Amino acid sequence: MLCSYSSSDNEKQNESNEQQQQNECEINEINKEKRKKKCEFCNENESKYCCPACQLFTCSLNCSKLHKLKLNCSGKKDATKFIAINQFNFLNLVDDYTFLEEVNASTKEAASKRNKKTMLARHLQTLVRRAAARKVDLYLMPSIMTKRKQNTSFFQFKQQTLYWRVEWIFDQAQLSVVNNRIADTENLLNVINQHLKSNLNNELIKPYLFDLNDQSSINWNLRMLVPHQNASKPVWYEADFSSTIRKALEGKKIIEFPTIHIILKTHLDKYPIFQNTNSTSTSNSTSNSNSNSNSNSN
């Protein structure tokens, strides 16, 4: 049994050697045919090169460069070019195999880079986790995005406080101001009042002015754009201006950092409030179940 096994192995080895020799002969024949041809550009000297793209035979580097200019040829082989089965040879098979290997390698490299880019730094993981603990759905963008680069929010471990970058937009005054790092324990009214005082020279800001001791003098409301909605029909979160930043952000989705719009009451009709259908349906189902249980008990 051992002898017969070794003899079959020898036969397979001989067959593979014969196939390899045949392939080498085929390549040599193709190369000989190339060398026999004259330069197809100058038609004077014997050809030495074959353009991978257009298969034109040339005799020198000069002719090769000239043919690229005049024929607008890239000089690069089209790996996906169709080849009829009766013209398909061993070289084409090697080219196809090489192409597939390159595609496989580039795919793995792209996947590796994508995984590295999508991995958040530790301080960003902490930021998302601490925001979630405050009932805030925080979404971070890819690192190349402008908003991602602008975000200076961070969590302070010693104080156990989340510091947000907050953008305040006074829509009707065409004014935008930013707090790069402000504690979420700060009161909204106090922060807005500070920004109003620092922009008193802006005539359009006057309708926003109010008395801190008299909330009835406030002529505006707060809105935050709801993300992941139809851009042509934006909807808005409502925020309580008498609360802290932490309380105002609770239960909301935020991309990178909060942007709070201060809207005069005369323009509020242009900022429709977001209706949370999930919470509504949940409350309805709860009330229905309660009513059913009551009827059953009766």
Cβ-proximal residues to 161 (8 Å cutoff; 6+ apart), any chain: 155, 183, 184, 185
* The pLDDT of residue 175 is above 60: yes
What are residue 159's phi and psi, to 5 degrees? -90, -10
pTM of the model: 0.55
How would residue 4 be classed by pLDDT, with cut points 50, 70 and 90?
very low
DSSP 67-124: HHHHTT------TT----GGG--HHHHHHHHHHHHHHHHHHHHHHHHHHHHHSPPHHH
Model pLDDT for residues 59-101, shown as the tens digit of each residue: 888 988 888 888 888 888 777 878 888 888 888 888 888 888 8
Ordered alpha helix ranges (H), 198-276: 245-249
Of the chain, the percentage scoring pLDDT greater than 70 comes to 78
Q: In the predicted model, is pLDDT for residue 34 greater than 70?
A: no
Rounded Cα distance, 264 and 208, in Å: 7
* Tens-digit pLDDT profile for residues 6-30: 555 566 666 666 666 666 666 555 5
The answer to whether 194 touches 186, Cβ cutoff 8 Å, is: no
**Distance between terminal CA atoms of the chain?**
88
Token pair for residue 215?
Answer: 């909330």
State residue 113's pLDDT score.
Answer: 67
168: pLDDT strictly greater than 90: yes
The pLDDT tens digits of the residues spanning 231-241 come to: 888 999 998 88
Specify the DSSP element, H or E, that contains 29.
helix 2-36
Check pLDDT > 80 for residue 129: yes
Lowest model confidence (mean pLDDT) among 34-48, 121-135, 199-213: 34-48
If 0-12 CB within 10 Å is exposed, 13-18 middle and 19+ buried, where does residue 274 land?
middle
Residue given tokens 């002969």 in the structure block: 25
Closest by alpha carbon to 192, among 274, 263, 267, 266?
263
More confident residue, 149 or 276: 149
Give the least confident one: 72-76, 112-116, 294-298. 294-298
Q: Residue 228 region, left (φ>0) first, then alpha (ψ -120 to 50), else beta?
A: left
The encoded tokens of residue 130 equal 């601490």
Locate all alpha helices (DSSP H) within 164-272, ordered by sequence. 188-197, 245-249
Whole-number average pLDDT of the chain? 81
CA-to-CA distance for 171 and 261, rounded, in angstroms?
7
DSSP code at position 213: T
User: Residue 44: what are its φ and ψ, rounded to 5°?
Assistant: -120, -55
